[in-house]
Homo-oligomer: A and B are copies of this chain.
Amino acid sequence: MPYQLSSCICISSAISVPTIASHSSYKSAERAQRSVDHVTKIPRSVNMESLQSGYLFPEIFKRETEYAMRNPHTRLLRLGIGDTTEPIPNIIASAMAEQALALSTVQGYRGYGLEQGNRDLRMAIAETFYQDMQVQENEIFVSDGAQCDISRVQMLLGPSLSVAVQDPTFPAYLDSNVILGRAGKFQVETEKYKKIVYMKCGPENNFFPDLSTTPRVDVIFFCSPNNPTGSAASRQQLKQLVEFAKANGSMIIYDSAYSAYISDESPRSIYEIPGAREVAIEISSFSKFAGFTGVRLGWTVVPEELRYANGYSVLKDYDRIVCTSFNGASNIVQAGGLACLSPEGFKALKSTINHYMENAKILVDTFESLGLKVYGGRNAPYIWVHFPGLSSWDVFNEFLERAAIVIIPGTGFGPGGKEYVRVSAFGHRECMLEASRRIRKLL
């Protein structure tokens, strides 16, 4: 990720562009081809071999970096990787600064925290996000972010389960299943992994899978508001999902990382749906809610009623995973999380979220005014734009080469992303307006 540069700022020749050499995987890939004197006898994990390419977002980063190197005087506008750009409110940053300084005092020094997270933060999460949903603080596990929690939940569940993902889907859901050995072979003709059920989500079905034709699986991965389509599932849809899971004895892994962007009555948590506590784990994050993409904080809820077939508590096992594979989120960062959930912090964050949603509106209007079908952008900071008949990577290349705008090709999210691109609304307002001008010119 380009940490020196915000998602949508101007790169002029005066600012050093991260060289390809600084992109570890690219450089190491080149070096990896050098012959060596010794190899181990360790077989490469067949699961790693099954991965079709690099993880999507570093691949995008590689291409935008290459472009920037070739065009050092061009102002590149990043509407690709969903990286937040607006400063963290001072009350939150100050809380973290204070906690850092406290660590240099005898009275304020803290070593290990509870692996599950500081109790006050867990309580604040329960109160802020799960009012009236009976989520207890002991069901909440604070983490260093949803990306990490996804893999911990995967480790918890083991390799032998059947899974379904939305199509298109946030890539970590697919890739983590591959790494755990659940995916089977990749089939080039369908661009799908053989053992994974892909639940197509598109305008034809209101971005909600047709569950009547969806086979039973053990675990259903569901993200709402959705990355990449920006669609927020309705209460009715989520009721169906919970009933489907319940009838099938399935588990839902529900990602609510973008719930703060919901502007209508769509549910913000799966636990708003009766019965969800018996079927769903919810993963969420401070990244997009609080601009903590680089600060790193998230949480996972595992309700006590969630049980394996033998009645054993999933919460108990997840706690064991957390205690073994993790050692808690940073105490400094957790102090920031608590400040995010204070009335003043929360209010300030709302203001930033509104900024991004106003960006989204600019993008929606821009694309719509050009006669394109646009989805998302109303309950999420992502716009999902349809380019009928075009390859999404071709559209990506056009935008990059001819307008110096980075977007994400839809097929990066699965075959369901064909003919679509994802455009991110994270950025400074001025860049968003410049992007709008260039898009109008391009199309």
Contacts and interface: CB of A to CB of B under 8 A. Distances in A.
A255 interface: no
Interface stretch (A36-44, A66-74, A189-197, A360-368): A36-44
B39 A147 contact: no
B148 A40 contact: no
A305 to B, nearest CB: 5
A78 to B, nearest CB: 10
A427 B5 CA distance: 42
B315 A28 contact: yes
A114 B158 contact: no
A358 interface: no
A54 B323 contact: yes
A156 B97 CA distance: 35
Contacts of A43: 160, 308-310
A347 interface: no
Interface size class of A (residues with CB under 8 A): 35 or more
B246 A112 contact: no
Interface string A23-63: 11101110110111111111111111001001101100000
Interface string A320-341: 1101111111111100100000
B100 A40 contact: no
A295 interface: yes
Interface string A246-265: 10111100000000000000
Tally of this chain's copies: 2
Looking at chain A's contact residues, the main secondary structure is loop
Chain B CB within 10 A, most for which of A40, A83, A105, A325: A40
Contact of A101 (B94, B108, B245, B313): B94
Contacts of A28: 138-139, 304, 313, 315-316, 319
A283 B434 CA distance: 45
Contacts of A103: 87-88, 93, 96, 291, 294-295
A224 interface: no
Given A84-B111, A104-B90, A111-B3, A36 B96 contact: no
Interface in A8-36: 22-25, 27-29, 31-32, 34-36
Given A28-B316, A181-B159, A315-B28, A111 B55 contact: no
Contacts of A96: 96-97, 100, 103, 332
A419 interface: no
Contacts of A313: 28-29, 31-32
Given A25-B319, A48-B320, A57-B323, 16 more contacts: A23-B114, A32-B313, A37-B278, A38-B246, A41-B250, A43-B160, A45-B317, A48-B156, A55-B320, A83-B111, A84-B111, A112-B294, A147-B325, A151-B324, A155-B179, A332-B333
